[in-house]
Structure 1
Amino acid sequence: MTGLIVLGVYVGIFVAAMFVFTRLGAGLKDYISLKTVTFGDESAVRPNRAAGIISILTLFLLWGMFTGSSLLPGFLHAPGPFAGQTSFDYTVEANGQTDTATVTVLVHNRAENPDPVAVEVGNGFAKNDSITVAQYRSQLVSFDRNDDVKKTDGAKIVAINGQKVRPGSTVEIEGGSVTISDKGTPNFSPENGLQMEALYLPSPEAVFDRTLKVLDEGFRGTSLLGHLGWSLFRVVAGFVCGAVVGIPLGYAMGLSNWFRGWFDPIVEFMRPVPPLALIPLVIIWAGIGETGKIILLFLAALWIMAIAARSGVSGVNIAKVHAAYSLGASKWQIMRHVIIPNSLPEIFTGARVAMGVCWGTVVAAELVAAEKGAGMMIMVASKFQNTDIVILGIILIGIIGFGIDMLMRGAERVLVPWKGKG
């Protein structure tokens, strides 16, 4: 239910922002609004920077709204869990007689451990009682704990707040609900509201505070930068090895029928195999050390780079090759001045994909067996339910992955300025 509400709020903000920018004349360029559109690298449709900023702010807004963040004013918070005092009456029947007593419930924050509220027990055989319940938790109420007649004597609850009940029945009360278990025991569950429990999704400031702490103290004997550095080292080493082998292999497959026929079945067979499926085999072959992780990343990048290089060679405009031959160029000159320059755009595209796959794979590899790395941080933190560290790791992984892609795009613009220009 909460997920649907979050999605609805997100869609509403998206539609409202687009409507406002359209009305303000900010201009939305898309396929429908433009008379002519040049698709490809030089497409007329460019990212709207304002939309990008609003999108990021919206995600943080939703994060704060549904975690009760102190960074937002209270009126923006989603309804939170019930906290405070409530009560319900239960009617018990025993030996042909009935009596009613009251259970006072104190719902408190998980970090607190208050004493039950003091109550008068009353004069009937059913005695008043009180319990404490932590937010987001439920509590069985041993109603006969201080009653004169016990369940073993035949006492059973027949009504909650005057409503007749039987095992499985639920009665809504202020601040929560009471459900009768199969054995006739009332179970109180406080209202959870729409906010996420910190165990599942901590607030932005909690993650920020944990980030500062990890930066200062490190994590399991290694600094935060050290963990990220080890992950980057593994990714770069595996990617470079995959590129060094994959690019020449792709060129050979694009230039030779024999190489294409020999290696194409292998490449096409391995291409759809997820790198994560190779983890058990790599562990058997190379163990759980650094060698095994780099081999896994090598295999993750190899097939992508081979296919990219092969596609780049196959996509060279044959008219350029004929023009070079007509000018007296040798095969090496054609390779140097025609095939390689025209295949580089495809290779850079493949490199961006391969780096993304390697970055995702190294995190999974570190989840299996590693003493250092971003994936290791996430794995260990999850075991101890340190969700703030898990969120921190995910955010850092996303930022670094995005940064790597931006760097490769920049390198592509500098090294291959002719991309998309025929």
Structure 2
Amino acid sequence: MPDFDPDASSPSTAWLKRAFTGADSTNARKTVTFGDAAAVRSLPLWSFLSFVLLMAIWYVVKIGGDDGILNDRTFASQKDTWDAFLLLASEGYRNITLWEHTSASLSRVGQGMLWGTVLGVPIGLAMGLSSKLRGFFDAPVELFRPIPPLALLPLFILWFGLGDKSARNLLIFASIWIMIIAARAGVRTVNLSKIRAAYSLGASKPQILWRVILPNALPEIFTGFRVAVGVSWGTLVAAELLGTSTGLGSMIFQARNFFRIDVIIVGVIIIALLGVLMDIGVRFLEAKLIPWRGKG
């Protein structure tokens, strides 16, 4: 029996050579059909097809009759929803324009995410770099992280009163724990050989933090940010029940009192679209700041 030659170039052994030696990694990436996460892209055609499917389900459910759960009193048709949107865009709802509601919600989510990130990321980095700080912050982080923000609504009303302050602080609470965990996890993913190489080149601790640790922790931080954006929009409606007169959540709550199902659906769709747009913006920023992600 002939000996196995790892350098043989026959098609039957070429893949073994690449798999075990990593040779020809560029060509290997071109031929991988499963498992290459960096090569996965969201195809516009499939996104369009899923959107068409959702619209078709909505249409079929509504023409199925008024005897079921989704009748005219509990769910609006596509036409009624579109008409409600046009009316809201031109006249607003209860003397407040749709843009005022939308901009108020964007401002609250933006402020909540900003402060959640500004406060959460440094704490997470500190927990990942210091055993003492990890021990100090571990208890409150693990204690408060599982608490649903909605469970704190009564306390936030008592502490901060009704209005924007309570809503903003509730959104900060919803996002800060996610950012802490993401930053802490990001530090743990940094390859120790990179830190050793930086030390051998004479880098100081601040230089290692800013030029090695933080850049390599950014992928996890961005992932946490995207999760926090979704959680913040999910908490928004409840946050805007805290005595705010503007905001999409406030508009939805007022529409519920008057059984305006069409207005409620318009508000829900706008929240969903804003969440998607913010996620696209974060992904674009992520691609610009950390283009190497997934290409290792």
For Structure 1 versus Structure 2, the TM-score category normalised by the shorter chain is: 0.7 to 0.9
Amino acid at match of 2:46: A
The equivalent residue for 1:141 is none
Question: Is structure 2 residue 226 aligned with structure 1 residue 352?
Answer: yes
Question: How big is the alpha-carbon RMSD for the aligned residues of Structure 1 and Structure 2?
Answer: 1.7
Find the partner of 2:108 among 217, 234, 250.
Answer: 234
Question: Is structure 2 residue 80 aligned with structure 1 residue 206?
Answer: yes
The equivalent residue for 2:263 is 389
Question: Is structure 2 residue 45 aligned with structure 1 residue 50?
Answer: yes
Find the partner of 1:334 among 195, 208, 215.
Answer: 208
Q: Give the whole-Å Cα distance in 2 for the aligned partners of 1:417 and 1:378.
A: 39
Greater relative contact order structure (CA < 8 Å, 6+ sep): 2
Find the partner of 2:35 among 10, 24, 38.
Answer: 38
Find the partner of 2:180 among 292, 297, 306.
Answer: 306
Deviation per CA, 1:222-262: give whole Å up to 9, x if none: 10011010011011111111111111111111111110000
Larger radius of gyration: 1
Matches within 5 A, 1:239-278: 239-278=113-152
Q: Helix, strand or coil: the match of 2:153?
A: helix
Deviation per CA, 1:199-241: give whole Å up to 9, x if none: 1112101111111111111112210011010011011111111
Find the partner of 1:407 among 278, 281, 284.
Answer: 281
What's the CA shift for 1:39?
4.2
What's the CA shift for 1:273?
1.1
TM-score (norm 2): 0.85
Amino acid at match of 2:235: T
Tell me: CA distance 1:254–1:379, structure 2 relative to 1, closer, same or farther (3 Å). same
Matches within 5 A, 1:167-246: 192=67, 196-246=70-120
Q: Please state which structure has a larger fraction of its residues in helix.
A: 2
Q: Please state which structure has a larger fraction of its residues in strand.
A: 1
What's the CA shift for 1:316?
0.5
What's the CA shift for 1:304?
0.9
Answer yes or no: is the 8 Å Cα contact 1:202–1:388 preserved in 2: yes
What's the CA shift for 1:286?
0.4
Of stretches 229-238 and 268-277 in structure 1, the one that deviates more from structure 2 is 268-277
The equivalent residue for 2:19 is none
Amino acid at match of 1:57: V
TM-score (norm 1): 0.60
The equivalent residue for 1:365 is 239
Runs of 4+ in 1 over 4 A off after TM superposition: none
Tell me: CA distance 1:321–1:291, structure 2 relative to 1, closer, same or farther (3 Å). same
**Any unmatched runs of 5+ in structure 1?**
1-33, 69-77, 82-191
Q: Helix, strand or coil: the match of 1:51?
A: helix
Q: Give the whole-Å Cα distance in 1 for the aligned partners of 2:187 and 2:49.
A: 41
What's the CA shift for 1:357?
1.1
Q: Helix, strand or coil: the match of 1:408?
A: helix
Deviation per CA, 1:347-385: give whole Å up to 9, x if none: 111111111111111221113432111011111111111
Q: Give the whole-Å Cα distance in 2 for the aligned partners of 1:63 and 1:349.
A: 31
Q: Helix, strand or coil: the match of 1:66?
A: helix
Q: Give the whole-Å Cα distance in 2 for the aligned partners of 1:238 and 1:45.
A: 31
What's the CA shift for 1:45?
3.9
Matches within 5 A, 1:284-303: 284-303=158-177
Matches within 5 A, 1:57-72: 57-68=52-63
Tell me: CA distance 1:335–1:195, structure 2 relative to 1, closer, same or farther (3 Å). closer
Of stretches 373-382 and 194-203 in structure 1, the one that deviates more from structure 2 is 194-203
